[in-house]
Amino acid sequence: MSEALWLVVPAAGQGRRMGAQRPKQYLALAGQPVMAHTLSRLHQAFPAARLCLCLDPDDTLFDPAWVPFAHWQRVAGGAERADSVAHALAALSGQAGDEEMVLVHDVARPCVTVNDLVRLYEALSNDAVGGLLAAPVADTMKRDDGAGRVAATESRQGLWHAMTPQGFRYGLLRRALAAARQQGLVVTDEASAVEALGLQPRLVAGRRDNLKITHPEDLALAARILAAQHAEGPGPAAASCREKR
């Protein structure tokens, strides 16, 4: 029996750095809410996947019409992103098998391409640890002195920007997040928790335009990225995983 693929989408944030009137996942982007774009990209890549959507318990803006998946559930998000992901994994207890793949993808990353999603899934399917989409750092990196001036220039050799999705087997990811919480380790991505177990997640090079919409200028940038991707046309034979499985 083919293993199920689980998608966890943290979408319970408030978008404080965006400074908008509503959480950024509900801001209009090319005629649709950010969330609708993100879920559409995930569904194009993984139409048969099962979605767990983390929403703020007080969220009154969510519309189920934006969810294209046949099998999906919502869970209450937590105080931090890691808590929301942990809540989703707890909700999947008894549903997801320990060896089944969980891909965690920020709702705030609507520009991820279907081709990158499928490439990541294929790269991780045979990887015992799991991994993440990432992009090598291309800028010179400065560390500040806390007073607005350069304290040092950091080597960018071997530095990557971690992105999402990040994919790990259900049992390992649940154990890793639980261990991080128990140790009081604050993690801003899933890979950090897996690394804390002494494992080395795989870095899968992805497009740099897999932007996380965070600051006000990012919304217009995301719109330009979507338009540019549309003009590019479909990537290299990015058949969805249903065709490939």
Ligand X SMILES: Nc1ccn([C@@H]2O[C@H](COP(=O)(O)OP(=O)(O)OP(=O)(O)O)[C@@H](O)[C@H]2O)c(=O)n1
Q: Which residues bind ligand LQXTBERG (CB under 6 A)?
A: 81, 106, 162-164, 188-189, 212
Q: Does 59 bind ligand X (CB under 6 A)?
A: no
- Of 187 and 234, which has the nearer Cβ to ligand LQXTBERG? 187
CA distance 112 to 96: 25
Q: Does 25 bind ligand X (CB under 6 A)?
A: yes
Phi and psi at 155, nearest 5°, equal -65, 135
- Of 13 and 33, which has the nearer Cβ to ligand LQXTBERG? 13
The pair of three-digit structure tokens given for residue 141, joined into one six-digit string: 């990196």
CA distance 81 to 240: 28
Binding partner at 15 among ligand X, ligand LQXTBERG, none, C-beta below 5 to 8 Å by kind: ligand X
- Of 17 and 244, which has the nearer Cβ to ligand X? 17
Q: Residue 141 in contact with residue 156, Cβ under 8 Å?
A: yes
Q: Does 77 bind ligand X (CB under 6 A)?
A: yes
Q: Residue 210 CB, nearest distance to ligand LQXTBERG (Å)? A: 9
DSSP lists the bridge partners of residue 150 as 144
Q: Residue 12 CB, nearest distance to ligand LQXTBERG (Å)? A: 11
Single out the residue of 8, 36, 49, 108 in contact with ligand X (rule: CB under 6 A).
Answer: 108
CA distance 172 to 230: 37
Q: Does 8 bind ligand X (CB under 6 A)?
A: no
DSSP labels for 152-192? EEEP-TT-EEEEEEEEEEHHHHHHHHHHHHHTT---SSHHH
